[in-house]
Structure 1
Amino acid sequence: MAERVVKDKSGNIMTVLDPRTFSAKTLSSIQHAALRDDDILLYGYPRSGHHWLFEIVNMLVTSTADYVPFTLESGVLELQPDTSLRRLSSPRILTTHVQAHLLPRELQQRNVRTVHIIRDPKDVAVSWFHFYHAYPEDKYEGSWDDWLHLFISDKFMWGTWFDHIRSFEKMCESLDPSLLHIIFYEDLKKNTQEEVQKLARFLETDVSNDVMEEIVLKSAFSEMKSEKDKITEKWNGKPAQYRKGIVGDWLNMFTPYQKEIFHDIYRERMHGSRFQTRYDNP
């Protein structure tokens, strides 16, 4: 994974993972990845619920309420070479955080089902702040205010949340809408059964009512965190990928001034977007 060093507004140093500095070989590997018609691609900005969604999709595809004994990293396009991806059995559940213009070119030619998960960018910022403060490979010492300035800047890893969403919208212009399903983190938390059933219909899975009920129960974040705690990587004794899994944690971090500034930027960057009003909640 490509890395680069950035400084926040107070001069604190942070090492970030950034696809914009991928080698030509890595970029070529992603864009020329060989896809299959029965692939499922989980797409979205980091810290948006991919590990959670990965488990749910796996249960639906296998028609069981069993958690998988591994993590999603085995199918991450930017982490695995195409030779490793080819060894995965079908149907493969692939994942990526890269912006849409870097996605595999065969996505436009194959019948790959894409599931795009979207989360409130304010909660994404908070989740990533705690994630990076716990990250043992990088001792970032910046404050929440330092972090927030980085998060909305072009220096941030993977590009900004806004750029990621807008690049996805551009891709949608040439993607078969029947092969795309958008799921919002907040809806999945609030109406888990309804959203899991929608996802099952999109994936055209054959799941009995009894198994579906069990999958919904197993989809609860607390249940999943407890189970995945057995195999997931730990930092300082805590699961690296599972923290709170709640909606609205940003209310515990944003000051009124930060909230005002963020929403001014949100309205400017999301003007004309189909998602403009989704998180415009002053």
Structure 2
Amino acid sequence: MDILKLSPEEREKALEAIRSQKHPVYDGYLLPKFPSTMFNVEKHMESVRNFESKESDILLCTYAKAGTHWVHEIVSMILQEGAEYTKGHKAGVMMEAADIETMTDLPSPRFINTHLPFRHIPKKHVESGYKIIHVSRNPKDVMVSFYNHMKNDPTTACTEEDFPGTWSDFIQDMCENRHNFYGGFVNYEREWEEAKKTKAITNVHSVFYEDLKKNPVAEITRLAAFLNKELSPQLIQEIADKCSFKSLSEATISGKKGADIVPMISKNKQNFIFRKGTTGDWKNWFTVAQNEMFDQMLERGFKGIDLKYTYEL
């Protein structure tokens, strides 16, 4: 069933049915309610692990709300060596959401993205040392962004369990690692850092959301070098300008990137992918007690891991 082809009334009924369903669970963590994972999660995840990666493939790995759409657009422009917006939605090349057979037939270089934990990304890609871009963002802004996303995205909300509930309910859940999408932020990032430290992964380019926001030209230049692309300073600046939060969100909402399908499935009928894109908005959400609770959770979870985040610019 193509939910986008339904009448508005039929679509609302279908969306409400999705919201009321429980999330698929794999290896102890929750996944969004994508058709691929709802139908047979074990089979789909096995197909992801056994994906026939090619040397020219590039894999973008991020925790949810860490800047995936932003970096996806930047890298797409670098690869095409031009500052033209891509059409469509990055979910079409998202490993846990898309049809793996369809992705297999994509022309090279295949640029694929996922929020899946390190241990579940394609085995051949890791073992062969193919290119990976790993993007991180400070966890407090991630929490705020994820909460606002979940309230409106039918694939992550669950009315039966009253999730995500209030902000207070949500942040308590996250600190206790309940409703642990992709294993939860701490487990996700810890696994990546340990893989880098032990050399389990060797060809990874690390990007911090806040660095990209503070100095986009320098970070785009680094990305281009990693992708073996020689771009002119003028083109790099143009990519930075077109991929600013304001420009990219406006291009998406206005249709310059193709039809904006997100409002058609959003609970509030707005695009839940782009909200503010700022660093430090968490201070408008966390109470003093919540901030202390969250800091304690981070301290426990990242013990022995040298990982520092930027919480304001």
Q: TM-score, normalised by structure 2?
A: 0.80
The corresponding residue for 2:45 is 27
Q: CA deviation at 1:107?
A: 1.9
**Equivalent residue for 2:125?**
107
Paired residues of 1:43 and 1:95 also in contact (CA < 8 A): yes
Q: Equivalents in 1 of 2:177, 2:154: separation in Å?
A: 24
In structure 1, which of residues 155, 160, 174 is the aligned counterpart of residue 199 of structure 2?
174
SS in structure 1 at match of 2:181: coil
- Equivalent pair of 2:175/2:293 in contact (CA under 8 Å): no
8 Å CA contact retained: 1:18, 1:158: no
Q: Which moved more, 1:204-213 or 1:244-253?
A: 204-213
Q: Which residue of 2 aligns with 1:148?
A: 171
Which among 268, 274, 279 is matched to residue 300 of structure 2?
268
Residues 213-252 of structure 1: pairs in structure 2 closer than 5 A: 213-229=237-253, 230=255, 231-232=259-260, 233-234=262-263, 235=266, 236-252=268-284
Match of 1:239, SS state, is coil
What is the deviation of 1:267? Answer: 1.0
Residue in structure 1 matched with residue 8 of structure 2 by the alignment: none
- What is the CA–CA distance in structure 1 between the aligned matches of 2:21 and 2:146, rounded to whole Å? 13
For 2:96, the equivalent position in structure 1 comes to: 78
Question: Aligned match of 1:159 in 183, 200, 209?
Answer: 183
2:212 pairs, out of 165, 168, 188, with: 188
Letter in 1 for 2:84: D
Cα drift, residue 257 of structure 1: 1.0
Q: Answer with 154-163 or 189-198: which moved more.
A: 154-163
1:256 aligns with 2:282: no
How far is the alpha carbon of 1:183 from its aligned partner? 0.5
> What is the CA–CA distance in structure 2 between the aligned matches of 1:213 and 1:280, rounded to whole Å?
26
- Secondary structure, counterpart of 1:271 in structure 2: coil
CA distance in 1, matches of 2:209, 2:22: 27
Counterpart of 1:153 in structure 2: which amino acid?
Answer: E
TM-score when normalising by structure 1: 0.88
Give the whole-Å Cα distance in 2 for the aligned partners of 1:127 and 1:110. 34
- CA deviation map 1:70-118 (0-9, x unaligned): 1111211112232111111111111111111111110233342111000
Decide whether aligned partners of structure 1 residues 144 and 65 sit closer, same or farther in structure 2, where only a CA change above 3 A counts: same
In 2, Cα distance between the equivalents of 1:82 and 1:134?
Answer: 26
Deviation of the 1:175 alpha carbon: 4.0
Greater mean deviation of Cα atoms: 107-116 or 216-225: 107-116
Tell me which amino acid in the other structure corresponds to 1:252: N
- Shift in CA distance, 159/109, structure 1 to aligned 2, threshold 3 Å: closer
How far residue 15 of structure 1 moved from its aligned partner, in angstroms, is: 4.8
Match of 1:205 among 221, 229, 246: 229
Is 1:59–1:67's contact at 8 Å kept on the other side of the alignment? Answer: yes
What corresponds to 1:3 in structure 2?
Answer: none
After TM superposition, the structure 1 = structure 2 runs for residues 3-82 of structure 1, keeping only pairs within 5 Å, are 15-16=22-23, 18-19=25-26, 20=29, 23-82=41-100
Q: 1:167 to 1:48 in 2, by over 3 A?
A: same
Name the structure 2 match of 1:278: 309
Report the Cα offset of residue 160 of structure 1: 1.4
Q: Secondary structure at the match of 1:212?
A: helix
User: CA offset at residue 29 of structure 1?
Assistant: 0.6
Does structure 2 retain, via aligned residues, the 8 Å contact 1:117–1:183?
A: yes
Does structure 1 conserve the Cα–Cα contact (< 8 Å) formed by 2:210 and 2:310? no
- Whether the aligned pair in 2 keeps the contact of 1:39 and 1:90 (CA below 8 Å) is yes
Report if aligned partners of 1:65, 1:215 keep a CA contact under 8 Å in 2. yes
Secondary structure at the residue paired with 1:115? strand
Distance 1:98 1:133 in 2: 21
Task: Quote the Cα distance in structure 1 between the aligned partners of 2:252 and 2:311.
Answer: 33
Contact 2:137 2:309 in 1 (8 A): no
Quote the Cα distance in structure 1 between the aligned partners of 2:89 and 2:71.
12
Q: 1:97, 1:158 within 8 Å by CA — same for their partners in 2? A: yes
Q: Contact 1:38–1:111 (CA<8 Å) still a contact in 2?
A: no
Q: CA deviation at 1:209?
A: 2.3
Match of 1:6 in 2: none
Which letter maps to 1:160? G
